[in-house]
Amino acid sequence: MKIAIAADHGGFRLKQEIVRYLEQQGYQYKDFGTYSEEAVDYPDYALPVARAVAAGQFDRGIICCGTGIGVCIVANKVPGVRAALCHDTFSARASREHNNANVLTLGERVIGTGLALQIVETWLNSQFAGGRHARRVDKITRIEQGCCS
């Protein structure tokens, strides 16, 4: 599994912890920045990850900011991206099983590192359940394609 990861300054330290986790677990990943706590604009970091996942260059994306909200809004503007803001493991698992989420967003200022890493682990190891959920996710795709019924 290839993972794209990024953060703004508000999520920089959490991103570093997740990168360490990905390395320990042997995941293939690309770090799209930011690379310090200097203030930046979160759309500039969320968009490249979202586009890379939508283009199929990466299987999953993980994006951090202060709350996880801004980067989630940006990522979900990209057709083909289903970004989920998850601050608990139940939602992380459900976002994969029910929504086939391909981007996870997290807020460094909201949860601690220990929980965040559990969420990442749960999310990376959960699979889309398909079935009735596939029908619903297909409807999301049709909305992206301009079909609203």
- Catalytic residue annotation: 65, 98
Among 63, 66, 119, 120, binds ligand RB5 (CB under 6 A): 66
Whole-angstrom Cα distance, residue 129 to residue 144?
22
Among 29, 32, 42, 123, binds ligand RB5 (CB under 6 A): 42
Whole-angstrom Cα distance, residue 30 to residue 107?
20
Q: How far is the CB of 87 from ligand RB5 (least distance, A)?
A: 13
Q: How far is the CB of 22 from ligand RB5 (least distance, A)?
A: 21
Whole-angstrom Cα distance, residue 120 to residue 116?
6
For the chain, the straight-line distance linking the first and the last C-alpha, in angstroms and rounded, comes to 34
Q: Is 69 among the residues that bind ligand RB5 (CB under 6 A)? A: yes
Residues that bind ligand RB5 (CB under 6 A): 8, 10, 42, 65-67, 69-70
